[in-house]
Structure formats: C-alpha cells, structure tokens
Amino acid sequence: MTLVRRRVIVHGTVQGVFFRDTTRREALARGVAGSARNRDDGTVEIVAEGAVEAVDALVGFCAVGPPDARVERVERFEERPEGLSGFQIG
C-alpha cells in the first residue's frame, strides 16, 4: 500500500462545531492516521496520512464538515509521509 500525507487548512465556521472530533471519527473509520487542531486564526488544520483513497475521502469530508460547520475554503498541501499512527486532537 502506498501511503500519502496531506495537510489541510479548513476556513469558515469550523471551530466550536465538533469539526475536530467528527474528523477524528471519520479518519479512524477509514484507517487514516494524523491529527486535527484549532488554529489561532479560526481555521482547523488537519494532517492525514494513509492509503490514497482513504485520505482523499477524508479530505472530501473536510470540504463539507459536520452539520453545524460552514466550510468556505479548503487549502490542501502534499507532504512526505512520516508513518503516523492513531489520530490526535490538539
């Protein structure tokens, strides 16, 4: 299996709407490792590492988010996989 890693910055109403926890559950269900954290500028940053299809599906979820989120824009960055395990919320 080829691993990929993507860093995603999600803009909009994404803090205080369970974005990080929902993303963690979605990631674990797909076998994706990484993390999600609130940033001081009001965005949420997600690092996702795993199989291409699983990471792409998680990034697709991030473009929509949980029901109370209002995603305005998603920035995507390709990075070198580090062999992460688990999914952390920061």
Residues with catalytic annotation?
20, 38
Question: CA 3, CA 18: separation in Å to the nearest integer?
Answer: 27
- List of E strands, 14-89: 33-38, 44-51, 70-79, 87-89
What does R_g of the chain's alpha carbons equal in angstroms? Answer: 12
